Chains A and B, each alone.
Chain A
Amino acid sequence: MTTVDVTPATGKKNNSPGNSRRRVYRPNTKYIPVLATLVLLVIMYSSGVANYENFGDPSVLVNLFRDNAVLIVVAVGMTFVILTGGIDLSVGAVISLTTTLTATLLKGGWPPLVVLVLVLLLGSLLGAGMGAVIHFFKVEPFIATLAGLFLARGLALFINQNSIPIRDKTWKAISEYRIPLADGVVTKPIALVALAAVLIAAAVLAWTRFGRNVYAIGGSADSALLMGLPVGRTRIAVYTLSGFCAALGGVLFSINSTSGWALQGNGLELDAIAAVVIGGVLLTGGSGYVFGTLLGVMVYGLIQTIIAFQGDLNAAWTRIVIGVLLFGFIVLQRLVTRKAK
């Protein structure tokens, strides 16, 4: 899987579809979307290095993890949901609820550990509730989680409409802690949390019964049911997991900004969905990888980094450039995967 940059094209040239023996090396078709994303990401990165001074600095790459830690964690949860063929629109709102609640409770003098456990539990509970509504009452995921979005953001606004600063010592300490990686390259604890989330999620999807059930439901929920797989339990678990990840994302957010605000994470659900899809996960479910999602977030982050390096773009142009780059990336990815088939 390391030297694959050229394979899709050469593999196509050297063999007809019927003659599969004389092929050179051709990656398994199920990896192609992820590999396409990887290749394009590398191209994007190298063009960044070629065009901007200091872009090749290792801290640029390391900072991608730090700046996008929240999105990574949320997108990992979203990957599970989308793999089952569902969607979770509530994640941005759960983030806002988490940050608001965290800030409010910490201000009220609650012990940090209790707050942490409480908000994570609340996020999971919200997710489980939506999963239960989707499974037992057969409400469409899009609508059930849209209601969840209104509910979570409504609760957040009800608690407090203003931005609340966090002065808790533990939160501040984590926020200011730096982990040295190499000379002049440091990162924050939240980046490690994000990385850990990716690794754990990838392991769960690849090697556990739960992971296989997720793929099976995404492939065909009816067949999964007939095979005797625990469809209901898995489906609810997936939304619970997404709720947990969103709450964790909210905690990371509150650590990073040392504040809580009910309008935080507005529209983040679409960023997460876009990242997941760019990473090669099919919205219809059943196909895709957590590492693809990570690459998808990296694409998003790299686009923003390039815009930051460009430096002279105002808000309007930033949006347009993000749109154009997103467009270019998706079309390229589409071409690469189509050719490979």
Chain B
Amino acid sequence: MTILKNRLFWPAAILVVLLVINAFTSNQFITVRDGHLFGTLIDILRGSAPLMLVALGMTLVIATGGIDLSVGSVMAISGAVACLLISDLGNQNSVGSVLLIIGVAIAMSLLLGLWNGALVAVAGIQPIIATLILMVAGRGLAQLITDGQIINVRSDPYSTMASGFLLAVPVAFLIAAAAVALTVVLTRRTALGLLLESVGGSPSASRLAGIRARRITVMVYVVAGGFAGLAGLIYSANIRSADSISAGNLIELDAILAVVIGGTALIGGRFSIAGTVLGAILIQTLSVTVVAIGVPSKATLLFKAVVVVALCLSQSPTFRTKVFGRLKARPAVRAEVPA
């Protein structure tokens, strides 16, 4: 029974079910073609990279008790900056210039994250409102950068970020995996993760304990901005253009959903990176499955809603005891005080 009680059991079970459905419905689930892996499973891994990156940053922000609504706008801005600069290049296939431009776009995203962090930690504005400002203004900024147009680029090195393969594995997934690995090492092999959780638990108590709570808070928003920027680059590299309207639209909700499915509480003070990765892959698998099993497009969202509701309920310990607990003799106790 212990494995059933694990918070990640039910999301993992649903993921497996969805993958099995995919394995039966798609003609190529996983094969090798032209020397690299190919098939629905690889599509899922590749497609989940932007969401995984955004959700990773979101996990850290939520761990400190905050929230970042601006990630979608940051994605739009970084894609717009990169595509604008690349389209101005004489030779769009020059690897050095493209790398430099990627660096510029990410630096820009870090700066936007710094702005969020400063508003939250220095000005003391509630995170949901502080990041709402950039969410609203940022998309305008992206539209301004692209002059309201969709900028197309024809740069092979740039599109490699989204559609290339390295050692038979999609580059986009490798980027996301590297970001995950780096975050895991930094937070779980050093004291950083503990500090994040303590700031999320109580900023003032952490400060009194000698933790620079303000600096940590600013840092997580900067990191979230950087990851969102990277996600924006992968997104725009995938469609080979900057679309400032639809890039990262509503991704903040999907990212928050991925984080919560992964067992990170929105009140902060605790986080699970493995859970977030699972959540992000689950959401991407869901979108792929909907298409694969031929759910009509007008019912897509309804299907997603049903799965999300099932997921949320399956993760609620109270729901599990109330529904499955009936099988045992112990009656449900009413006097349970919410923690």
Contact = CB atoms under 8 A, between A and B. Distances in A.
B132 A142 contact: no
Interface in B118-175: 119, 123-126, 128-130, 132-141, 143-144, 148
A221 B148 contact: no
B18 interface: no
Interface stretch (B216-224, B226-234, B307-315): B307-315
A146 B133 contact: no
Given A136-B322, A137-B313, A225-B337, A142 B266 contact: yes
B298 A157 contact: yes
B129 A277 contact: yes
B144 A320 contact: yes
Helix, strand, loop or mixed for chain B's interface? helix
B140 A320 contact: yes
Interface stretch (B46-54, B180-188, B196-204, B252-260): B252-260
B148 A315 contact: yes
Interface string B234-269: 000000000000000000010011001000011000
B144 A277 contact: no
A137 B322 CA distance: 9
Interface residues of A, number: 47
A187 to B, nearest CB: 28
Contacts of B309: 147, 151
Helix, strand, loop or mixed for chain A's interface? helix
Interface in A311-330: 314-320, 322-324, 326-327, 330
B31 interface: no
A153 B301 contact: yes
A158 B302 contact: yes
Contact of A138 (B119, B144, B298, B338): B338
A139 B148 contact: no
Interface in B36-89: 69
Given A221-B338, A273-B128, A139 B316 contact: yes
Contact of A146 (B69, B130, B257, B319): B257
Given A138-B316, A147-B305, A150-B301, A274 B266 contact: no
Nearest to A136: B318
Interface string A260-300: 00000000001001100110000100000000000000000
Interface string A302-315: 00000000000011
Contacts of A319: 136-137, 139-141, 143
B139 A150 contact: no
Contacts of B318: 136-138
Interface string A224-258: 01100000000000000000000000000000000
Contacts of A316: 140-141, 143-144, 148
| Shortest 6 CB-CB contacts between residues of A and residues of B | A323-B137, A319-B140, A154-B302, A154-B301, A150-B305, A316-B143
26 contacts: A136-B322, A137-B319, A138-B317, A138-B318, A139-B319, A140-B265, A143-B266, A146-B257, A146-B308, A147-B308, A150-B305, A154-B305, A155-B302, A157-B298, A157-B299, A157-B302, A221-B338, A274-B132, A277-B128, A315-B140, A315-B143, A316-B143, A320-B137, A323-B140, A326-B132, A326-B133
Interface of B: 69, 119, 123-126, 128-130, 132-141, 143-144, 148, 253, 256-257, 260, 265-266, 298-306, 308-309, 312-313, 315-319, 322, 337-338
